[in-house]
Amino acid sequence: MNIRNCKPADGNQRQFMADAVSGGSRHVADDSRRPSVIEQSERCRRTRTTLPETSAELWTLTDARVDDEGMTSQAEQSVTTPIRDSDEVAPRRRSVFPPIDDYAFLSDCETNCLVARNGAVEWMCVPRPDSPSVFGAILDRSAGHFQIGPYGQNVPSARRYLPGGLILETTWQTQTGWLIVRDALVMGPWHANEQRSPTRRRTPSDWDAEHILLRTVKCVSGTVELEMSCEPAFDYHRAPAHWEYTGNVYEEATATCRTAAPGEQPTLRLTSNLRLGLEGREARARTRMVEGDNAFVALSWSEPTAPQTFEEAADKMWQTTECWRQWVTIGRFPDHPWRSHLQSSALTLKGLTYAPTGALLAAPTTSLPETPGGERNWDYRYAWVRDSTFALWGLYTLGLDREANDFFSFIFDAAQSDDGDPAPLQVMYGVGGEHTLVEEELSHLKGYDGALPVRIGNDAYNQNQHDIWGTLLDSVYLHVRSRDQVPETLWPLLERQVQEVIEHWREPDRGIWEVRGEPQHFTSSKIMCWVALDRGVKLANLHGEKAYAARWSEIADEVKADILEHGVDERGVFTQRYGHPSLDASLLLAPLLRFLPADDPRIRATVLAIADELTEDGLVLRYRVESTDDGLSGKEGTFTICSFLLVSALVEIGEVQRARDLCERLLSFASPLKLYGEEIDPKSGRHLGNFPQAFTHLALINAVVHVIRAEETGHTGTFQPAHGPS
């Protein structure tokens, strides 16, 4: 087939890949089609287009974006809606930073990166997602980038993921032609057959990361000037890169950090069929492409070998596509208009896993602000125990048992000491199971759009948060209930966690939101203590420990009575903490965790109170910052997970239409690539906080399936949330 017949706007992907694999397309143009010396001189004189200060207005432009269900993105609606005189909207300052929801997310389940709309990789840490960054422009415009695209252009015509995977396709239209760029973190058949991996603890699968960031380019019409710029900044921009040629001519160059001790910083190898030029800390390439030309650039940091030709690059891109499609085919997705949101969330969660250990990252980024320009900036590149419950709810619901089981195994490993004895459970762990995550501030970085401080590490790892016992026990129960038995090796860990609850449930803690103010008697923490005891009773019965079950049942009743006495106000509404009338969105978990039946008046009153009193423009806040001592200043946006929890809770109490309306609105807030950050600004629709956020996508799955199940005739469909009524 002739590539001329392709319609880039439609994206005939099979034709592009078939031509690439067959070698039917030409390589980059010869010197006769290259810019003249005068043209090149003019390029050098002009301001670089990589990360231009003058492109601020480009980031404020927003194309009309319509998703698969025909819903215009809420962010775009807010841009095009006229502002009324009564609206309290502050003048919007133009920023050189892309909106958070403009980034694309790539992963090979060992490394991940974020790609801005202009084609620049602006966040990437290697070899692990919690390693120091090598590209960090998302936190400081001078902290490293890797960009490829048409010269002088920053806004593409279209972007999408190829169906069924995390392969990003960007279509560019210039005044003279069209380009299609594809980006992927390469995955291929399992290759570590000569030596076992020292980091892998989970059972190997058929596919594995190849530690290559691959970028392919195809000119599908006309003539386009292509430019590539790769400027790493090692160790969060604390160590400069030194480039040198390592290939025969211009096809390969290597970046190292001369100030680091051997092994402290990765070695980056850049391979391409473009002619690479080395200019200080930057590797560059430029050429004029005509219809049918192709190019590739591969950045690698370990074995196996990166591709040497475009044909090899196209084959690796096809391998990666096939890997993702085989994986997503395992899942069970309903035949429903919202299917694409479920599939996108599943792919995002898979991308947030760290395959060697089974850890699930809360997010791949650090210090993206919860408030524009504010101080609520945290490092989320770790695995939270509480995520286990939602991970298992969501992943089991979609039939993705392996990832759920791997994450549970990670938590089980982390909750043991080096000698195999049960250890005190922490709030979070490093992706390799590390127990210490010391927090520090990187004062040399300017922060995303000026938001300071930039933090790495997270001191919440040593907080007392009493909800973690309940999340672990609930996860274990969900894990083993289909097996009708508790593994003998698991029982000592479970017994230890229940004993921790018995000893500490009367004490204050810092709660599910990890407040940095004084510990309080948070009602949701007490509910999670009850969950730990309730699930402990069920597990003890499965294990044949009737005496434990009887004793723990009595204490569970005592905890519940205490909550109902001290954690409910005169309206019959559950309160944030004992003795104070404040609301808290975490109490939406009460019906989902079966603390009380959904038809209990106190459950209904709580859900409706949160829906009516703890929202801004219909979206849910975690709590009111003015009435909660969280140890921080400033406001925050609405927490998207809380809004999705409200959807599920509304379904539970029978408010199905209200739940559906809210769910549909939340889905309209998705980024153009169906990703979600931690928060949403209800005024502008912009995403805030670290991105993409696992907690949000997990809650999305549960909420969407709640609504779908509720709308099925007789509630008899096969799609049910993991904790749905039987």
Tokens of 161: 């993921």
**Residue 59 and residue 99 in contact, taking contact as beta carbons nearer than 8 Å:** yes
pLDDT digits (tens, 9 = 90+) for 466-521: 999 999 899 889 888 777 778 887 888 899 999 999 999 999 998 888 777 788 99
What CATH number is attached to the domain comprising 633?
1.50.10.10
Residue 666 lies in a domain: yes
Residue 198 lies in a domain: no
Residue 65 lies in a domain: no
Where is the domain boundary, 270, 296, 329? 329
pLDDT digits (tens, 9 = 90+) for 373-428: 888 899 999 999 887 777 778 888 898 888 878 888 888 888 877 777 777 889 99
- β-bridge pairing 359-360 and 428-429: unpaired
383 and 452 co-located in one domain: yes
423 and 445 co-located in one domain: yes
Q: Compute the distance between CA of residue 448 and CA of residue 588 in angstroms, rounded to an integer.
A: 32
DSSP 600-611: SHHHHHHHHHHH
The whole-number pLDDT of residue 391 equals: 78
The whole-number pLDDT of residue 205 equals: 78
The whole-number pLDDT of residue 403 equals: 84
Mean pLDDT by 10 residues, the chain (726 residues): 36 40 38 37 37 33 36 37 34 80 98 98 98 98 98 96 98 97 94 69 81 98 98 95 93 89 83 97 97 98 88 97 96 95 96 94 96 90 85 85 84 79 85 94 97 95 88 87 78 91 94 82 96 97 95 98 97 95 95 96 98 95 78 76 97 96 97 96 90 96 95 56 54
Residue 59 lies in a domain: no
642 and 510 co-located in one domain: yes
529 and 398 co-located in one domain: yes
Domain that holds residue 213: 3-52+96-192+205-329
pTM of the predicted protein model: 0.85
Residue 231, SS3 per DSSP: strand
Q: Compute the distance between CA of residue 710 and CA of residue 703 in angstroms, rounded to an integer.
A: 11
Residue 74 lies in a domain: no
H or E segment at 422?
none
Question: Domain count of the chain?
Answer: 2
What CATH number is attached to the domain comprising 178?
2.70.98
366 and 434 co-located in one domain: yes
Residue 724 lies in a domain: no
603 and 479 co-located in one domain: yes
Q: Taking the chain, what is the end-to-end CA distance rounded to the nearest angstrom?
A: 53
Q: Compute the distance between CA of residue 224 and CA of residue 293 in angstroms, rounded to an integer.
A: 10
**Residue 134 and residue 234 in contact, taking contact as beta carbons nearer than 8 Å:** yes
Residue 111 lies in a domain: yes
Where is the domain boundary, 274, 295, 329? 329
Where is the domain boundary, 306, 329, 352? 329
361 and 453 co-located in one domain: yes
Q: From the CB of residue 219, how many other CB atoms can be counted at a distance below 10 Å?
A: 27
Residue 78 lies in a domain: no
292 and 355 co-located in one domain: no
Q: Compute the distance between CA of residue 657 and CA of residue 151 in angstroms, rounded to an integer.
A: 50
392 and 413 co-located in one domain: yes
705 and 607 co-located in one domain: yes
Tokens of 261: 């001790």
Cβ contacts of 122-127, under 8 Å, gap ≥ 24: 122/98, 123/364, 123/365, 124/213, 125/381, 126/211, 126/266, 126/268, 126/301, 127/211, 127/266, 127/301, 127/302
**Residue 310 and residue 135 in contact, taking contact as beta carbons nearer than 8 Å:** no
The whole-number pLDDT of residue 9 equals: 40
395 and 272 co-located in one domain: no
- β-bridge pairing 168-173 and 145-150: unpaired
152 and 220 co-located in one domain: yes
